[in-house]
Amino acid sequence: MQELLSIATAFVIGLMMTPALIRIARERKIFDEPGARKLHTTPTPLLGGVSIFAGTIISFLFWSADYFEPAQLFVLTSLVVLFISGFIDDLLPLRPVVKLFLQVVAAS
């Protein structure tokens, strides 16, 4: 039951944050532009990962506080590395080799 509540919490947080982040991305003109390797044909607001990350972390910390183990810090650290690299990539596009390196670091 606790797992379902955790998933529901993350979903609701993401659902509530996404419209505000879309508005911020539009105001600050933070878009993913269409291109040859893109599926979308119109500029798409970025920063959606922020709501997913926030929902996941908040839900994880809230629902697993009673069962938290030090080994879980590795998972949280990996999530933070992936989030920060994705956030930076949204604002200042990173070269593919840099993104791959950061993903390998997070997976390690």
Contacts (Cβ under 8 Å, ≥6 apart) of 64: 6, 72
10 within 8 A of 58, measured Cβ to Cβ:
yes
Strands (E), 5-91: 31-32, 44-45
Q: Helices 72-91 and 96-107 meet at what angle, rounded to 10?
A: 170
Residue 80 has pLDDT above 90, yes or no: yes
The CB density around residue 14, as the number of other CB atoms within 10 Å, is: 20
Residue 19 has pLDDT above 80, yes or no: yes
Burial per residue of 22-52, b for 16 or more beta-carbon CB atoms within 10 angstroms, e otherwise: beebeeeebebeeeeeeeeeeeebbbbebbb
Between CA 57 and CA 61 the distance in angstroms is 6
pLDDT digits (tens, 9 = 90+) for 84-103: 999 998 888 889 999 999 99
Q: Whole-number mean pLDDT of the chain?
A: 89
Task: Please tell me the predicted confidence (pLDDT) of residue 40.
Answer: 79
Identify the band that residue 65 occupies on the pLDDT scale cut at 50, 70 and 90.
confident
